[in-house]
Chain A
């Protein structure tokens, strides 16, 4: 399915040097041995000749004149003949000895001959080359031993590094999963699965970081991509850098986690403050009207008015409390949003039916344009709640006898639900504010007194949790278009 070409690593430099180093000593060892043999042979021959020379001189002093010739001729026949002669002259040999000693030494002096010639041309060259190679050999031997040690050390380092990488990656993955969880909040914690996932990811990631071997899979890259297969010192440096980077990421994740927990705490605190604020106003109004009712200078009509006002306020309070309970339940993860593959059409139908009564009261027509049904993973009750909140707003802020249109369209990886109304609209600079808790748009608070500012906040929380998005679009001035996207 995917085109793949293996780009093999050709940087065998380090390996080659190691191999060459291994072979050279043997090569030179052999040469040295050879040289040694040659030297010893030379020395032996010289000494042999030396003995022969001495014997000859002793037996035939008269050969003194032609001594050099014989010496250099090395004629074995002469030697053998002489041997026969010398043996026959054995009795006489002692007599000649003393005389011949001087003769021999004379010859030696005459010809500058001082025993075995260690310094001949041949020999010098052998010695020199031999010495050079000896030194070379010694150095190479040292290198070879060092090399062996280095390779062993390298292997150990690699093992340690790989293990370290793996452990770090694992820790990083765990911390990452924790940060995601802390953000979601509602996800049931399956520690086993979390650990397994982390292990798996750690394994593959550490391979990428520390185990870059040849070949490297890249797909076909015809533009001449340079492949780097780190070896030796390069690789260790690379691994170290990567280890540092992973440590840094860990640090960041830990920090993120801490931040999220702090945020959550602040969130709860501010929530409680907000609730008390919201409740104060209607309660104050109730208290005031109650006090006023205590006075006796009221007509029946006035009293009736006040009582109506009071019941109105109580209704508002009830509504507010309802909303607040919903929000708090959701925020404190007391309610789970459980997405299930089900019909989106039915969910939308649920939402519409919930607001139908209010719509009819203002003679507002709600139309749903949905060609097919879509089976999407979502939570029916809560998603219906979110859609209902938006529809509720649409009705609340639209004039009577207007239209509210719900359009459903399938996109590449989402289902788009557009809810358009002909109401008061929303100012551009308030687009991202309206989804904040207890925020009421400027136009909204002017037109309609009731409203806790919680509907959109809830809707966004519900949809965001299911990995969807809610956004509002500018509808050329008249009304608003809300776009809900739910992943398929």
Chain B
């Protein structure tokens, strides 16, 4: 199996003694390149924490995450930020769009932060694919939940990262919009050969995955 993300014995505890919460408890995992992996589990089972650590947004207490051969936590913060910018795309449950920028600007922001030139045609193609091209100059406050999430997806795709991490992207959407968002995401990822790791509660979403990882109390209890 060609894995793009390797997790070795990850540990992340919060608090201590009585209030010790084992968010991630000696978890080891392997994400296959080019496939859609879904992480399922009950609320509070440590899925979000795991995803944040996978993307280098949080530091574990011990253990290592290897992305494409590079150990994330042996890098300096600058290099880690660079790696994150170029190789990882994030989609959050609450969209996290910048309210002062319109759709187009939100989507090209990662490119600008990286000092890269914006290829207008490419971005237009992505926007068209997710169906937001005609709303390119609209501010986020005027968009519906589904549209905001789709903008967030476009933003995650624009740098063509190797891995896309999504934290319950359909959580705040109704079932039909969620289905659409999922389909759009899956198609985009398939076309560019990217890897998709998604946390979800929704079985409808999980059934579209190539692999399903079940997490309970910070441990991996199932893998298919």
Q: Nearest Cβ distance between residue B39 and chain A, in whole angstroms?
A: 14
B104–A469 touching, CB < 8 Å: no
Candidates A180, A228, A414, A431; contact of B183 at CB < 8 Å: A414
Candidates A2, A179, A245, A474; contact of B137 at CB < 8 Å: A2
A471–B204 touching, CB < 8 Å: yes
| C-alpha spacing A428/B202, complex, angstroms | 11
A176-B193, A218-B111, A256-B193 as given contacts; A412 in contact with B119, CB under 8 Å: no
Number of residue pairs across A and B with beta carbons under 8 Å? 132
Q: Which residues of B contact A3 (CB under 8 A)?
A: 102, 104-105, 137
| C-alpha spacing A252/B162, complex, angstroms | 10
A207 at the interface (CB under 8 A from B): yes
Q: Which residues of B contact A474 (CB under 8 A)?
A: 203-204
| C-alpha spacing A230/B115, complex, angstroms | 9
What are the interface flags for A177-207 relative to B under an 8 Å C-beta threshold, 1 for contact and 0 otherwise?
A: 0011001000000000000000000001101
Q: Which residues of B contact A487 (CB under 8 A)?
A: 183
Residues in A444-488 with C-beta less than 8 Å from chain B: 467-469, 471-474, 483, 485, 487
Q: Which residues of A contact B122 (CB under 8 A)?
A: 204
Q: Which residues of A contact B137 (CB under 8 A)?
A: 1-3
A411–B180 touching, CB < 8 Å: yes
B108–A219 touching, CB < 8 Å: yes
Interface residues on B, range: 35 or more
A432–B186 touching, CB < 8 Å: no
Residues in B26-85 with C-beta less than 8 Å from chain A: 33-34, 68
A469–B183 touching, CB < 8 Å: yes
Closest B residue, CB atoms, query A209: B116
Helix, strand, loop or mixed for chain B's interface? helix
What are the interface flags for B134-151 relative to A under an 8 Å C-beta threshold, 1 for contact and 0 otherwise?
A: 001100000000110000
Interface residues on A, range: 35 or more
Q: Which residues of A contact B184 (CB under 8 A)?
A: 413
B183–A211 touching, CB < 8 Å: no
A432-B212, A473-B204 as given contacts; A467 in contact with B109, CB under 8 Å: no
A207–B179 touching, CB < 8 Å: no
Q: Which residues of B contact A204 (CB under 8 A)?
A: 119, 121-122
B2–A179 touching, CB < 8 Å: no
Question: What are 28 contact pairs spanning A and B, CB under 8 A?
Answer: A2-B137, A3-B105, A179-B193, A180-B191, A204-B121, A208-B119, A212-B117, A216-B112, A216-B115, A216-B116, A218-B109, A219-B101, A222-B100, A225-B113, A253-B193, A256-B34, A412-B180, A413-B184, A414-B183, A416-B176, A416-B179, A428-B203, A432-B207, A432-B209, A469-B183, A469-B208, A471-B207, A474-B204
Interface residues of A, Cβ cutoff 8 Å to B? 1-3, 176, 179-180, 183, 204-205, 207-208, 211-213, 216-223, 225-230, 245, 248, 252-253, 255-256, 259, 409, 411-414, 416, 428, 431-432, 435, 467-469, 471-474, 483, 485, 487
Given contact pairs A220-B101, A223-B98, enumerate 16 new A-B contacts (beta carbons under 8 Å): A2-B137, A208-B119, A212-B115, A216-B117, A217-B117, A218-B111, A219-B105, A245-B86, A256-B34, A259-B2, A409-B176, A412-B147, A413-B184, A469-B179, A485-B180, A487-B183
